[in-house]
A and B are shown apart, each in its own frame.
Chain A
Amino acid sequence: MHQAIQIAVGGLLQGCIFGLLALGFSLIYRVTAAVNLAQGAFCIFAALVTSSCEQAFGMPVMIAGLVGVAATAALSALLGAAVFVPGLARLPGSTMFILTVGLLTILQGASLVVWGSQSYTLTTFSGERPISLLGISIPTQGLWLIGVTIVITSALALLLARTRMGRAFRACAENPLAANLMGIGVRRMQLLSFVLAAVIGGIAGIVIGPITSFQFDTGGMYTMFGFIAAVIGGIGSPLGAVVGGLCLGLATQFAAAYMSSLFSNALALSLLLVILIWRPSGIFSSGPARRQDVRDEPRIHRAVIRLGLRRGLLLSAVAAAGLLGALPWGLQSGGLMSSVVITAILFLAVIGLDVLMGFAGQVSLGQGGFMAIGGYTASILAVRYDVPPLVGTLAGIALSLVCALILGIGAMRLRGLYLAIATLAFGLLVDSLTVGLENLTGGPSGLVGIPSFSLGGFVFDTPLRNFYLIAAILVVILTVLTAGMRGGFGRALLAVRADPLAAAALGVDVRRYKIGAFCICAALGSLAGSLYGFYFHFLSPEMVGTPISFQMLAMLVIGGEGTLFGPLCGVALITLLPTIFQPLAQYKTMGSGLLLILCALYLPSGIFGTAITWLMRMRPERGGVLAVRRSTP
């Protein structure tokens, strides 16, 4: 009993942390109807600045904390005005989501450059000695945490419910155009909510700082848990954020205590999946549901770029020839050749993502999870049971398809944003399994001794042989998909993306098409994962984890959605550049975030799409490429 109470106290504190992290999500969602995945990065930024002030200038923790919060406010104002608010004015919801992935990446990358990869903690606010109450011990920082949570939650609830500004916030989320006509400065309100959320996040980061250690990329974790708490509680409601946080905190603590810490993450994520499917709007939904209608998005849609079939085949030939042409050049240095092979493998996975996102319009943050399933299934079968690589690869694909079907049937009822969350939860679940199931996967240190891919006695054991293998697979897949996307199948996918209701009214089984695209995406991810393992002879969780899912998203957007060939530009840029220019390697994360933001904001059809449009404009008489759509009146 006593132990249970002690665990409950732990869960309460953990819950307050999650709740504080969730508040920022709710505030921004309330005003802009967008989800800001960079929220966790602001917490870490504030904590890192505070830590530097403490250590470098010897400031007391409270003063250092104020500096940290002020710095966070300044940074968020800058990023909000330069990226977030302009994005809201011109991007549809799903792209907005990706834009904030870019913000998260850029903040993590910058933190890596400034603070390195070591971990930090902060000094407790009032002494280390825990208070003992009826035999239950509570750290003093925990009391600070509870106090701050109560104060911030009530202040925010009052602001939203009782003040003129709160009503204006609500109006901005309901109908920005009408709010503007009422004389409400919509952009100012959006920026204000962004900064206010960052400040709340910063305070949270500093209060949590003494309890858990943190490093440059902890922001990603904070984002996940804050976001999950917000969704469980009902995104948009401050009370819901805290209740969601408490549910999540108690569940994870009890699971960790009575089962194992492996299952604590798994439980949190399963809880999220159950809530998503059972009650998509969360425990407390904020007011009546917004009417979801594609007409409500008077924003830039992506460019309409169409190439003739012959042109598509021509391009695939050019792409293949280009890759082959790069070979002799790459042979001179083994490192570059290896990067070319990695580029080709990742390209395969990103093509899958393109079918799902670029055509069917669904966001997946779990592509790394499918790579992991494919990679680990094939590798474990080969290492432990001597199963031939081809059979292992097919088994991986089959397992991925089963997962995709289960996830798809559950989640495809939900709209854009929620599918992204469900796939994110899936990816994280796979992450925790690859780390946790040590006997099977080798745990965090990875699985070694994976054989090379072989086919009927022919072993693909050199980078060059691997390259030819993957290039052949790419040519086949690109040809097949180009044909599919140009015909009725691709057209139906585009229709599902553009207007699911109108598509259904023409006889399109929207769910089936979405699940079909999701299965293609999962199968290609799985195939790429298997090839990854066979090529490296080694597979570790961070090679196929959630950060890779985010990176592949960036590669897709940078290359150009809905173009099949475009992702190659994005993959090559992010994979090859740091190899060619070694000094750049340190800036890789930051650079990919920056490129992602720039492309999302200014090149809606990516590098490839923009290049094609530009090239075709030079020769308009050849036709084949259509008007690029810039705005919706």
Chain B
Amino acid sequence: MLELRNLSAGYGGRPVIHGIDLDVKAGEIVALVGANGAGKSTLAKALSGLLPCLGGTIRFRGQPITALSPADRVREGLIHVPEGRQIFVGLTVEQNLELGAYLRRADASRNEIEQGLTAVYARFPVLGDRATGIAGNLSGGQQQMLAIARGLMARPQLLILDEPSLGLSPSLVKEVFQLIASLREQGLAILLAEQNARMSLAIADRGYVIENGRVALSGNAVDLVASEDIAARYLGIGAVGHAGRFDAAIHDRLVAAIRRQT
């Protein structure tokens, strides 16, 4: 469904990601994992057209879309739910959702939009309860739900989710990942960029590890987690009790530094 070949992108002409090759097939969840600043969000923005591609090609459902505008990519069914939710905080929940279907309003009838809203409210009852409330007053978790729901209003073929679990409490993180898994069952393809490697690989079919803007590793999600070496080296999983460079000497220096100041 989505094919990236040798893709480079970045800010102000300076590439942040280099030569990325990546595929997403219909109906699968592909996890994009890696450290902060590795280039996951940059990749997501390049896919949705927020950032220009500096090299390489993107093909979506067989068609090259590298030169298309963000609006045209939305029309094709490629929807990006950005990091940090980015809901319209001053608008009501319902207005947010209607804006999700902005491009469909050109040809879809009011009735179809209403059906879309009904379906979203059935899936997210809390949004239905607060449909006329200002979106900025929702809690963090509810805002994340709204961001995903708004993406669904556009009838996506492929959903790009950037850090959907950031800043959520453990029970909400579980809820979000369950939701993502259930979206796949509807036949949606999902590209999931996540810091939380453990949880995202647990629901993903395949995974790509991004390091310094390049694909460091890729493979079946199960294999990626299974290898302890890979997990510790690239994903920072399972290092509990091992405090990296923060050894006893540094501990003592920090304590001394703080004591000296007070």
The residues of A with any CB-CB pair to B shorter than 8 Å are 164, 167-168, 170-171, 174-175, 177-185, 287-291, 630-633
Candidates A171, A631, A632; contact of B88 at CB < 8 Å: A171
Q: How far is the CB of A353 from chain B (nearest CB, A)?
A: 29
Q: How far is the CB of A92 from chain B (nearest CB, A)?
A: 16
B26 contacts across to A, CB distance below 8 A: none
Say yes or no: B87 contacts A178, CB within 8 Å. yes
Q: Which residue of A lies closest to B72 (CB)?
A: A183
B48 contacts across to A, CB distance below 8 A: 181
Say yes or no: A181 contacts B11, CB within 8 Å. no
Q: How far is the CB of B160 from chain A (nearest CB, A)?
A: 10
11 contacts between A and B (CB under 8 A): A168-B102, A174-B88, A174-B89, A174-B91, A175-B89, A178-B82, A179-B88, A181-B74, A181-B82, A630-B12, A633-B42
Complex Cα distance, B79 from A170, in Å, reads: 21
Say yes or no: A183 contacts B136, CB within 8 Å. no
Q: How far is the CB of A165 from chain B (nearest CB, A)?
A: 11
Say yes or no: A183 contacts B134, CB within 8 Å. no
Q: How far is the CB of A582 from chain B (nearest CB, A)?
A: 41
Given known A164-B105, A633-B42, contact A183–B88 (CB-CB < 8 A): no
Say yes or no: B136 contacts A180, CB within 8 Å. no
Given known A177-B86, A291-B89, contact A183–B102 (CB-CB < 8 A): yes
Say yes or no: A182 contacts B16, CB within 8 Å. no
Say yes or no: A167 contacts B99, CB within 8 Å. yes
Given known A631-B11, A633-B41, contact A184–B90 (CB-CB < 8 A): no
A168 contacts across to B, CB distance below 8 A: 99, 102
**Count of A-B residue pairs with CB < 8 Å:** 82
Interface residues in B85-142 by Cβ distance below 8 A to A read 86-91, 95, 98-100, 102-103, 105, 134, 136
The residues of B with any CB-CB pair to A shorter than 8 Å are 11-12, 14, 16, 41-42, 48, 50, 69-71, 74-75, 79-82, 86-91, 95, 98-100, 102-103, 105, 134, 136, 150, 154
Say yes or no: A181 contacts B42, CB within 8 Å. no
Say yes or no: A183 contacts B103, CB within 8 Å. yes
A289 contacts across to B, CB distance below 8 A: 90
Q: Which residue of A lies closest to B39 (CB)?
A: A633
A-B contact sample (7 more), CB < 8 A, given A184-B102, A630-B11: A170-B88, A178-B88, A181-B50, A182-B99, A182-B154, A184-B99, A633-B41
Q: How far is the CB of B120 from chain A (nearest CB, A)?
A: 15
Complex Cα distance, B171 from A378, in Å, reads: 71
Candidates A175, A183, A287, A290; contact of B74 at CB < 8 Å: A183
Q: How far is the CB of B10 from chain A (nearest CB, A)?
A: 9
Complex Cα distance, B136 from A290, in Å, reads: 10
Candidates A175, A180, A185, A288; contact of B87 at CB < 8 Å: A175
Say yes or no: A170 contacts B91, CB within 8 Å. yes
Complex Cα distance, B50 from A179, in Å, reads: 11
Say yes or no: A182 contacts B90, CB within 8 Å. no
Say yes or no: A178 contacts B102, CB within 8 Å. no
Say yes or no: A288 contacts B136, CB within 8 Å. yes
Q: Which residue of A lies closest to B89 (CB)?
A: A291
Across the A-B interface, give the 7 residue pairs with the lowest CB-CB distance, nearest first. Answer: A183-B74, A631-B11, A183-B103, A183-B71, A178-B86, A174-B88, A631-B12
Q: Which residue of B lies closest to A167 (CB)?
A: B99
Complex Cα distance, B48 from A175, in Å, reads: 16
Given known A167-B95, A174-B89, A178-B82, contact A288–B134 (CB-CB < 8 A): yes
Complex Cα distance, B48 from A184, in Å, reads: 13
Q: Which residue of A lies closest to B80 (CB)?
A: A181
Which residue among B50, B90, B150 has the maximum number of chain A CB atoms within 10 Å of its CB? B90
Q: How far is the CB of A73 from chain B (nearest CB, A)?
A: 24
Complex Cα distance, B99 from A177, in Å, reads: 13
Say yes or no: B86 contacts A181, CB within 8 Å. yes
Complex Cα distance, B219 from A449, in Å, reads: 87
Q: How far is the CB of A162 from chain B (nearest CB, A)?
A: 13
A287 contacts across to B, CB distance below 8 A: 90
Q: How far is the CB of A87 from chain B (nearest CB, A)?
A: 16
Q: How far is the CB of B87 from chain A (nearest CB, A)?
A: 7
Complex Cα distance, B98 from A171, in Å, reads: 11
Candidates B11, B90, B100; contact of A290 at CB < 8 Å: B90
A291 contacts across to B, CB distance below 8 A: 89-90, 136
A633 contacts across to B, CB distance below 8 A: 11, 16, 41-42
Given known A180-B50, A182-B102, A183-B71, contact A174–B12 (CB-CB < 8 A): no
A164 contacts across to B, CB distance below 8 A: 102, 105
Complex Cα distance, B80 from A545, in Å, reads: 51
Which residue among B16, B48, B136 has the maximum number of chain A CB atoms within 10 Å of its CB? B136
Complex Cα distance, B42 from A288, in Å, reads: 32
Complex Cα distance, B17 from A341, in Å, reads: 53
Candidates A180, A182, A288; contact of B100 at CB < 8 Å: A182
Candidates A174, A175, A181, A183; contact of B75 at CB < 8 Å: A183
Say yes or no: B87 contacts A630, CB within 8 Å. no
Which residue among B50, B70, B74, B134 has the maximum number of chain A CB atoms within 10 Å of its CB? B70
A175 contacts across to B, CB distance below 8 A: 86-89
A177 contacts across to B, CB distance below 8 A: 50, 82, 86
B86 contacts across to A, CB distance below 8 A: 175, 177-178, 181
Q: How far is the CB of B49 from chain A (nearest CB, A)?
A: 8
Q: Which residue of A lies closest to B95 (CB)?
A: A167
Q: Which residue of B lies closest to A630 (CB)?
A: B12
Given known A181-B80, A182-B74, A287-B90, contact A171–B12 (CB-CB < 8 A): no
